[in-house]
Structure 1
Amino acid sequence: MDEGMLTIGAFARACRLSPKALRLYDELGLLRPARVDPDTGYRYYAAGQLEQARLVAWLRRLGMPLAGIRRVCALDDPSSAAREVRAYWARVERETAARRDLAAFLVDQLSAESVEEPPMLELRCFAHSDTGRVRPANQDTAYAGARLLAVADGFGPAGAPASSAAVEALRFLDTAQVPAGGVLNLLQDAVRGAAEAVRDAAGGTDGAGTTLTALLWTGSRPALVHIGDSRAYLLRDGELFRITHDHTMVQSMVDEGRLTAQEAAAHPQRALLLKALTAHGPAASPDLRLHDALPGDRYLLCSDGLSAVLPEDRVHRLLTGTPAAPDTAARRLVDAANDAGGPDNVSCVVADVVQTAAQVY
């Protein structure tokens, strides 16, 4: 054996990878041995390869797929490799958060225990949509019904019919009975129907589609469905919270630490969507969450024609400044976006949570 070389067994013990894994990584071109005996085919490794092997072992323990490990190991600059690992872990955390939310949703749906009867609540809401000051036509759709609130922002040559079709496909939820499978199944089926409606309405037009953000009222708790970069906010006890996560390339770069929020706001591709309901392909998986509601809560759903133009502190002031009914607040928000230039269609739904008269003592 060459001096300084380690057998595959000794190298495996030193780097805490099994010989089987080392053989696999050799076949994949991920970690080649320093020398292969031409007669026996036995693999030998140099001591200098231990650092890379240990990195591979750590990344495998982290759960990184082989393709990702290959990218990291191919980077000569340690800072670039660190950014790649950071980006991978940010994706894992986002996916874990989505699964956590789904688990909480399912636990809530399947649990029959209740400490006390929740108060009966209802919505008082208003939808308002405007073309804005620049666009020739309005491709947004906003809807406020008895139980359903929705905003859809169409894009592409058939954006208007796409957004209208998506919301129209959900309108049955205003009167639908929640099935035995619960509101989760009802919403999943509804979004699947909306995706089909968008494909039909767009007629196969390339580049056409729509975002969709909706709240379904279930008596005491709203269920949120979200796909794209329209947004939902909750105003509670004077504080404004964003309760949706933008499905955009720029937002993913912020999540991964590649951009700051300030850089993202001025990025030339800030509107590039990673998820939407489109004219082609299967429906992307939406975010789905169940929220606790309290009397006095105010919800805002809006297209990016509002959120991209008005900073959140300005939105906060318009929602809280002077006590106003939902219709007044919605018109103020749209007017403010237009006063700021109105570069896009702007739509919003404002909804207040109130306790029913039968529950007020």
Structure 2
Amino acid sequence: MPGTPIEWIAKAAHPLATADPSAPLDDLRPLLGMLGQASAVGYGAGTRGAHELVTLQTRIARPLVQEGGFRAVAFDQDWTLGVRLDGFVGTGKGDPRALLKDAEPFANTEEVLGLLEWMRDFNQGRPDQPVRLVCVSPHAVGQSAYNQVIDHVRRTAPERTQELEGLYAELGPGSDIAAHLARFRSLPDRTAWVGRARAAHDLVASLTDDAWTIQTARVIVQFYELHDHDALSEDPLNMAYFERSFAENLAWWHQHTGHKVLWWTSSSHASDGPGRAMSFPPAPPSALPNAGSFLRKSLGPGYASIGLTFHQGGLATYSEPKTFQVPGAAPELFESTLGADDLGDYLLDLHAEQPPEVAEWLGHTARFRAIGPAYDPDNDAAHHMTGGSPAEWFQVSARRSVGLVVSKGMGISVAVGSQGGPASLVNQDAVYAGPWLQVIATGHGRGGDIAAAEVVETMARLDVQPPEEILDETGPSWKSPLLESVESAMVQANERLGRLKRHDRRYTNARVWVTAIRWSGPELALGYVGRCRGYLIRDGEFYQITHDYTLNQPLPGPTIPDEPIFLDGMAAPDPNLSLRRGRPGERYILSTRGFAHVIPSSTGLRIIKEETSPADVVHGLIQALQAEPTPDDASCIVIDVTPSETNVKPLAAGALARQAQGEPEPSPAAASSKSNETQHQPDAIARDIEARG
């Protein structure tokens, strides 16, 4: 048997093929054996801000639910939010994206949304064995909990309802939990409210055997006990109570439902760490038992923990707006050995057969990387948790080589295409795609092609690398310099259109729809006016990311609003703006209305999901358009986010390409002839135009 830790890892590790949640599960199946008979499993990483680790959590959930019989996924979020999210995964009721706005920032993410949508899909085919969702934190218990308890007593013991309502008077938070909590914390004597919450729980428990109602009343008590504390330097957030509550509520669900439970959290909570100490500079280190240790004490070998680790990469914290590059693990961190010798990504059973040297290594107290609400890359090793050994804390380690790499190691690959419609005298679409900016526009009315080209040419001045201050800005979208630059360019384009109209009355009725994306590292600013659409393929799912009076939801097809909005050179534009984060593997498509029926169709979806390059997607969409012609001009930009640096040369198509080549505006007769020649062919400039990183 290999003797050193690195040799043992190389022999015992089970390679992980990918973190992609939609990938086949063969490489994860050994995990089922590693967990043995565990009926409650906690898992997470030492950071909440690395995309690949979070998607790996989603991927791990699939075999445990599909093949391991786990029937509940728990989150360390508010109990009442969990009730609403459970309603979505069980029945489809509610908008999960809107529901997640009430979650803490590290849970209000696309990755968590992806898990919820996967759970909903799973349940639609298994109405008799659904997977449930429960949240186990009491930190923000909503008014619905109080209403549920009172309603149950009103039905089962109506004569005691008034008594219960009296106990809960003033305790319910109404619609503003933050304001209610501030009021409670400001009371000179909070013990009276805590006592009333406890008395209400005891009353309910004496009136009913309904376990759910009693537990809901218990969570209300937890809310007040949690927040009835004065901040102490060693535990300013009362994390000791948080940890006990997480464990109590998860164990309650497990015991009362009989479900095997998978707890999605962080390794600081999930590890079996009775002496766990956290070091989150600049705060002083603090030591207290965590939820995993309480669960292990309660459930014994029925509780197991999985630690997700990484060696280096990029991540975001949940309290700072910028991203960080995390250096390779320092020698004093446990991850330094896990990442040695370029072992790749793998699962490792920490309780598999091992030689004495490995057993000693796994049995020693270790330091594990833990990056919390603040992070200093220059002091990386100071961000850690300790107080136990790997063998004590975890059953399994899942190691990823990097987190989400940002700024470096990401780029785009682009292709464009444009084709005039058979009913068009001249192609009125204008298209531009460069390394930093992609913009597409459709003109309307007489001179619409010139108007669209003028708008796109104006906006193309943004195709330069954003200044450094924009690269670090990921704040609220309405204050983002990256978004402001797109909005400003649209205002300038509209002003230029106004000058064109004042100079030449032929363009009086010209109007333009426009959609643009500008990149800054992994951040992208999306802005649009009108109906030039934007789409996204992420993890195999199709989304429309521009509004045709819809949200960012998977769409079966286009929805057309009654009142389109244009750039007209007169009224000040009010573009829709949003800030997004791109990641390798995503595909964005910008298109004009000629493709509106093609892209969401089964043929269009197959093309944009399966073709390997942007140029192949453009070619395939144009072929599909020729099979089902539309009277409208049709143009598109296809953008693949890649792990390679961007090396894109500027591309133009449609009216902008004609203008750049100095072609005059066609007369009606000439335009008609040209349309007949080209209605089944894309503009020549759109051929052979893919730029690879």
The answer to whether TM tops 0.5 is yes
Question: Do the aligned partners of 1:159 and 1:210 also contact (CA within 8 Å) in 2?
Answer: yes
Instruction: Provide the residue aligned with 1:130 in structure 2.
Output: 419
The superposition leaves residues 53-90 of structure 1 with CA deviations (integer Å, 9 ceiling, x where unpaired) of xxxxxxxxxxxxxxxxxxxxxxxxxxxxxxxxxxxxxx
**5 Å matches for 1:320-339?**
320-321=609-610, 323-339=611-627
CA drift at 1:224:
0.4
CA deviation vs aligned residue, 1:270-293 (integer Å, no higher than 9, x gap): 5864311014x2232001111111
Q: Tell me the matched-pair count.
A: 235
Percent identity of equivalent pairs: 28
Q: Paired residue for 2:528, among 207, 226, 229?
A: 226
- Partner of 1:353, secondary structure, is strand
Q: Which among 626, 639, 644 is matched to residue 351 of structure 1?
A: 639
For the aligned residue pairs, the C-alpha RMSD in angstroms reads 3.1
One-letter amino acid of the counterpart of residue 567, structure 2: L
Q: 1:273 to 1:111 in 2, by over 3 A?
A: farther
Q: State how far apart, in whole Å, the 1-side matches of 2:431 and 2:645 are.
A: 28
Question: What amino acid is aligned across from residue 512 of structure 2 in structure 1?
Answer: T
Give the whole-Å Cα distance in 2 for the aligned partners of 1:230 and 1:294: 23
For 2:615, the aligned partner's letter is D
CA spacing shift, 1:271–1:344, aligned 2, 3 Å:
farther
Shift in alpha-carbon separation, 1:331–1:273, aligned structure 2, 3 A: farther
Distance in 2, Cα, partners of 1:190 & 1:143? 14
Correspondence 1:152 to 2:441: yes
Taking the aligned partners of 1:172 and 1:357, their CA distance within structure 2 comes to 21
**Mapped contact 1:334–1:348 kept (Cα < 8 A):** no
Q: How does 1:235-250 map to 2 (within 5 A)?
A: 235-246=537-548
The alpha carbon displacement at 1:188 in A equals 2.0
Q: Conserved in 2, the CA contact under 8 Å of 1:293 and 1:353?
A: yes
TM-score (norm 1): 0.58
Structure with the greater alpha carbon radius of gyration = 2
Matched, 1:167 2:488: no
Match of 1:38 in 2: none
Structure 1 310/343 Cα, relative in aligned 2: closer, same or farther at 3 Å? farther
Determine if contact 2:466/2:520 at 8 Å carries over to the other structure.
no
Alpha-carbon separation, structure 1, partners of 2:540 and 2:489? 33
Verify the 8 A CA contact 2:531 2:564 in the aligned structure 1: no
Deviation string, structure 1 residues 243-291 (Cα, Å, up to 9, x no partner): 0003xxxx4xx89xxxxx99x96xxxx5864311014x22320011111
Confirm whether residue 189 of structure 1 aligns to residue 488 of structure 2.
yes
Q: Is 1:114 equivalent to 2:413 in the alignment? A: no
Aligned-partner Cα distance in 1 for 2:600–2:641: 24
Distance 2:543 2:486 in 1: 23
Counterpart residue number, 1:302: 591
After superposing the two structures, state which structure 1 stretch, 287-296 or 128-137, moved more: 128-137
Q: 1:157 to 1:309 in 2, by over 3 A?
A: farther
Match of 1:216 among 493, 518, 542: 518
Partners of 2:467 and 2:425 in 1: how far apart? 40
Of structures 1 and 2, the one with the larger relative CO (CA 8 A, separation 6+) is 1
Q: Unaligned 5+ residue runs, structure 2?
A: 1-97, 99-108, 110-316, 327-404, 470-479, 647-693
Q: What's the CA shift for 1:177? A: 3.5
SS at match of 1:277: coil
Opposite residue 418 of structure 2, the aligned amino acid is S
After superposition, what is the alpha-carbon deviation per residue over 1:22-70, rounded to whole angstroms, capped at 9, x for unaligned?
A: xxxxxxxxxxxxxxxxxxxxxxxxxxxxxxxxxxxxxxxxxxxxxxxxx
Q: 1:311 Cα shift?
A: 3.5
Instruction: Spell out, residue by residue over 1:139-174, the C-alpha distance to the aligned partner (whole angstroms, 9 max, x if none).
Output: 001111111111101101021011111110111111
* Amino acid of the structure 2 residue aligned with 1:337: L
Distance 1:347 1:225 in 2: 18
